[in-house]
């Protein structure tokens, strides 16, 4: 060990003793240290050979020999702020609280007073955090450890089995809008997963992965198979950032290619001026994608969708079960819903049920008030162009597309950004159910072992404010609670983790925390995170996340480069 690595000594006092969980050490007040930095201390061992205890810095304090702030005020010439030197030069130092994360000999008795504290090399840091010789490695970013001349950039690899199963599953990514880069980090990680598990049709699907993404904001994910270098309005500054990002990809050993094998699915529209789709995408881009067999319009026919009508009721409180009764009445084909094949006919029949018996109303088994509520919930949505009469060329039913054509290494991007909220829920719920059915009732040979479902704005589908009877929430709970055994993995993204149904976040083995606000970190969801790390969450920069994973011995503050696919101007 080099002398220059020594930064202080352990200090065990009556007020702040060393424990099996943490220790304190003093250091020079000019030494720059940060929370999440790793340090090491020589410790005892049964065979007299020193073991090494590693600690992660949590708190950093500065003290002087002044017994009170009043003393400090007096010593500065009785409050002269311009006085460089007061009547007395105070002795000062920094002392640090470090949390014990491991010992090389599994000895967890308290470290002893006076032991030298040292900086770590890369091998030490990987050992301390449980990142050394990781099985099934998956790159999830990099650490920037220490400041100044001692700065180290260290690749972080997680065991993919703790994210994609079988040892753990699902990830939840949170952070405030705009600054937290939730989508960017998710896409960085998903791109790394695709390139890690890339397969061809003739390869064994034992470790294969397929992806289903929902595009919920503008054009965010509508060109993920095109290079970052063709992004719109690139300035000289942007190009420099791209060069810096690509250098990081090289350091991490990752491919700089965007996503491969991508297909885009847009909601159908009758408007030919927009390439017959409801989307914020450039119509010329859509036409080009369609010409290359990469884009399709999706529709929902009554025949294929009537059993999913409950998905349009996800935001409605149905404690009495009346709306569910209406759904069952329709599905069973009771009069006037017998022999119905089109949405227009369905809406006509629905109108009849909202009339009183005296006015020719039907479906007497259910109250007229219930039918009127049912119509209010589903009637408007089913008049959207996406609820159509039949399927034409280049038009598909999403459930059948997943059941028949989702293959290893494929990425399905489903655009729902311009649909109303109820229809978005219908699309999401139908897709989630189709994935669940595909994995549960596998009937073809080339089904991917793992299917990743990426959902932005998870609060729309798994909010604590949703009725517990919500059919979409039930599907999400099926995925998070039983999806690991089936190979269905949820990548859920939202602004505020505390607003998500606890059984959803509770089943996510990995959590990623981006920048958020002080009110959010005061919620119970964050109580297990040390206070200093909570405070750091309020000032994280874009490109930074705090990660918690079962395979890690401590939460880590990782950085990541921007995704390599085409970007669009914001706003």
- Residue 323, in any domain of the structure: yes
Cβ(130)–Cβ(102) below 8 Å: yes
Domain boundary among 362, 383, 404: 383
Mean pLDDT of the chain: 88
Do 425 and 507 lie in one domain? The reply is yes
Residue 485 lies in a domain: yes
Is the pLDDT reported for residue 360 higher than 60? no
Per-residue confidence (pLDDT) for residue 85, from 0 to 100:
57
> Does the structure show a pLDDT above 60 at 359?
no
Q: How confident is the model at residue 202 (pLDDT cuts 50, 70, 90)?
A: very low
DSSP 3-state of 174:
strand
Give me the long-range contacts of 75-82 (CB less than 8 A, separation at least 24): none
Q: Is 315 left (phi over 0), alpha (psi -120 to 50) or beta?
A: alpha
Is residue 123 located within the same domain as residue 32? yes
Assess whether 408 and 517 both reside in one domain. Answer: yes
The arithmetic mean of pLDDT across residues 13-41, rounded, is 94
Q: Are 330 and 309 in contact (CB under 8 A)?
A: yes
Do 315 and 275 fall within a single domain?
no
Residues 231 and 193 reside in one and the same domain: yes
pLDDT at residue 125 in the model: 96
Task: Give domain status of residue 152, yes or no.
Answer: no
Q: Write the pLDDT tens digit of every residue in 448-473.
A: 999 999 999 999 999 998 888 788 99
Record the tokens describing residue 487, joined without a space: 């190979």
Co-location of 62 and 199 in the same domain: no
pLDDT category of residue 104 using cuts at 50, 70 and 90: very high
Both 163 and 248 in a single domain? yes
Is the same domain home to 165 and 123? no
Is 312 a member of any domain? Answer: yes
| Residue 148 falls inside a structural domain | no
Among candidate residues 214, 156, 202, 207, the one with its CA nearest the CA of residue 414: 214
**Does the pLDDT value for residue 19 go beyond 80?**
yes
Q: Judge whether 102 and 127 are in contact, CB under 8 Å.
A: yes
Q: Tell me, yes or no, whether 294 and 419 share the same domain.
A: yes
* pLDDT higher than threshold 90 for residue 52: yes
User: pLDDT value at position 231?
Assistant: 64
**DSSP codes of every residue in 503-554:** HHHTT-SEEEE-S--HHHHTSGGGTTS-HHHHHHHTSPPTTEEEEE-TT-SS
Closest residue by Cα to residue 491 from 194, 170, 166:
170
Q: 273: closest CA among 263, 262, 286, 256?
A: 286
- Higher model confidence: residue 202 or residue 111? 111
Task: Give me the domain span that covers residue 493.
Answer: 157-299+391-559
* Average pLDDT value for residue range 484-494: 95
Q: Are 407 and 546 within one domain? A: yes
Same domain as 453, residue 368: no
Quick check: is 338 in a domain?
yes
Question: pLDDT at residue 201 above 50?
Answer: no
Q: Is residue 552 located within the same domain as residue 419?
A: yes
Indicate the number of domains in the chain. Answer: 3
> pLDDT: is 44 or 180 the higher one?
44
Taking residues 395-409, what's their average pLDDT? 93
CA 129 – CA 132 distance, rounded (Å): 8
Banded pLDDT at 258 (limits 50, 70, 90): very high
Which residues have CB under 8 Å from 468's CB, separation 6+?
Answer: none
End-of-domain residue from the set 333, 364, 383: 383
Residue 141 domain flag = no
Domain assignment present for 568: no
What does the pLDDT read at residue 555? 92
Last residue of a domain, one of 383, 408, 431: 383
For residue 262, list its beta bridge partners. 411
CA distance 93 to 91: 7
Quick one: pLDDT at residue 493? 95
């Amino acid at each position: 060990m080099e002398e220059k690595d020594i930064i202080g000594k352990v200090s065990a006092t009556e007020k702040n003793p060393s424990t099996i969980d943490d220790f304190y050490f003093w250091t020079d007040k000019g030494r720059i240290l940060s929370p999440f930095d790793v340090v090491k201390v020589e410790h005892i061992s049964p065979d007299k050979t020193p073991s090494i205890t590693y600690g992660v810095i949590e708190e950093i304090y500065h003290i002087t020999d002044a017994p009170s702030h009043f003393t400090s005020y007096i010593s500065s010439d009785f409050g002269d702020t311009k006085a460089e030197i007061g009547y007395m030069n105070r002795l000062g130092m920094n002392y640090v609280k470090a949390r014990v994360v491991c010992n090389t000999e599994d000895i967890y008795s308290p470290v002893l007073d006076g032991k030298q504290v040292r900086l770590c090399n890369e091998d030490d840091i990987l050992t301390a955090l449980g990142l050394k010789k990781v099985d099934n490695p998956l790159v999830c970013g990099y650490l920037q450890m220490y400041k100044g001349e001692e700065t180290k950039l260290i690749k972080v690899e997680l065991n993919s089995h703790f994210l994609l199963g079988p040892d753990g599953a699902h990830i939840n990514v949170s952070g405030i809008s705009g600054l937290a880069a939730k989508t960017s980090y998710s896409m960085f990680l998903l791109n790394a997963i695709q390139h890690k598990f890339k397969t061809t049709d003739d390869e064994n699907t034992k470790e294969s992965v397929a992806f289903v993404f929902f595009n919920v904001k503008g054009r965010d994910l509508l060109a993920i198979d095109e290079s970052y270098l063709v992004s719109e309005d690139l300035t000289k500054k942007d190009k420099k950032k791209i060069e810096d990002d690509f250098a990081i990809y090289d350091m991490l050993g990752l491919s700089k290619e965007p996503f491969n094998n991508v297909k885009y699915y847009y909601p159908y529209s009758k408007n030919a001026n927009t390439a017959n789709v409801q989307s914020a995408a450039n119509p010329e881009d859509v036409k080009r994608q369609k010409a290359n067999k990469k884009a399709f319009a999706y529709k929902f026919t009554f025949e294929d969708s009537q059993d999913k009508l409950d998905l349009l009721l996800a935001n409605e409180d149905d404690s009495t079960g009346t709306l569910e009764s209406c759904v069952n009445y329709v599905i069973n084909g009771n009069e006037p819903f017998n022999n119905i094949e089109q949405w227009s006919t369905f809406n006509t029949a629905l109108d009849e049920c909202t009339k009183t018996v005296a006015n020719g109303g039907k479906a007497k088994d259910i109250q007229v008030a219930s039918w009127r509520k049912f119509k209010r919930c589903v009637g408007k949505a089913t008049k959207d162009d996406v609820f159509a009469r039949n399927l034409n060329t280049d038009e598909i039913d999403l459930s059948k597309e997943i059941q028949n054509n989702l293959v290893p290494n494929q990425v399905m991007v489903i655009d729902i950004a311009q649909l109303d909220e109820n229809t978005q829920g219908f699309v999401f719920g139908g897709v989630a159910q189709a994935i669940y059915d595909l994995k549960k009732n596998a009937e073809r040979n080339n089904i991917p072992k793992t299917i990743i479902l990426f959902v932005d704005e998870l609060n729309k589908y798994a909010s604590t404010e949703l009725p517990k009877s919500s059919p979409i929430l039930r599907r999400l709970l099926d995925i998070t609670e039983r999806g690991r055994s089936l190979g269905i993995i949820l990548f859920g993204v939202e602004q505020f983790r505390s607003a998500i149904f606890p059984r959803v976040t509770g089943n996510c083995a990995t959590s990623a925390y981006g920048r958020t606000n002080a009110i959010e970190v005061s919620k119970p969801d964050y109580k297990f995170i040390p206070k200093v790390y909570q405070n750091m969450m309020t000032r994280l920069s874009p490109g930074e996340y705090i990660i918690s994973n079962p395979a890690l011995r401590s939460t880590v503050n990782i950085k990541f480069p921007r995704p390599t696919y085409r970007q669009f101007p914001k706003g």
